Amino acid sequence: MDAPQDTKKVITIPYDKRLIGLLVAVCVLSAAVTGFSIYKLQDDSKFQAIEITESTYQEDIDSLTNQLSGLQVEVDRLEIALNSQSDEDSDSEEDPTSTQEGKFLAPASLNFFENGNFLNGDTLLYEEPGSPALSVTLKFIKSSICIDGFKVCTFSTLPHGQDVFVAGKKSGDVVTVAVMMTR
């Protein structure tokens, strides 16, 4: 008996070079379309994120614009009051640094600069080295200014115990307030 021979048959399939070229062209075109689609989707999502960010910032810008408008109204009101008081002051022969209602405190006359707690709408509780728990009565005049953060406030709206800085003119146990700022 003869040993079996190892025979392999090679099958050849006829092909057309044009068909192979066409298949390669279709694959390349398909890859290009897929790549462009993915690029376009990513590009569209970038614009969507930008639009969302712009709308968020626009709300903040609108809010700040409204706050500025409110401050401008307050500044205008204060300028009108200042001008009317200046007209009244020029008619009188009184000392312009007097602390009567409506007068202005001259910066040179300020002698009280303290941090403390605003109590009961007219008292400041503060400390000095060696003297804890001092208090003074606060006197507010038309030119007294109250600042809470970045906005103008009224003294009556500050909460009991609010931490404040006061600059004013002290006479005895009374301080005529020039400026009060929250801390």
How much is the pTM?
A: 0.45
Is 126 found in the same domain as 67? no
Looking at 93, 117, 151, the residue that finishes a domain is 93
* Residue range 11-51, pLDDT digits in tens: 666 667 777 777 778 888 888 888 777 777 776 666 666 66
How would you classify the pairing of strands 162-171 and 151-152?
unpaired
Is 124 found in the same domain as 170? yes
Is 152 found in the same domain as 114? yes
Domain with 127, as residue range(s), is 107-182
DSSP label of 29: H
Is 84 found in the same domain as 50? yes
Quote the number of domains for the chain: 2
**H helix or E strand, kind and range, residue 17:** helix 17-91
* Residue range 40-89, pLDDT digits in tens: 777 666 666 666 667 777 777 888 888 887 777 777 777 777 766 655 55
- Torsion sign across C-alpha atoms 83, 89, 95, 100: negative
Amino acid sitting at position 17: K
Token representation of residue 166: 């006061």
- Cα separation, 183 vs 60, in Å, equals 25
Q: Is 51 exposed, middle or buried (0-12, 13-18, 19+ CB in 10 A)?
A: exposed
Q: Give me the phi and psi of 108, to 5 degrees please.
A: -70, -20
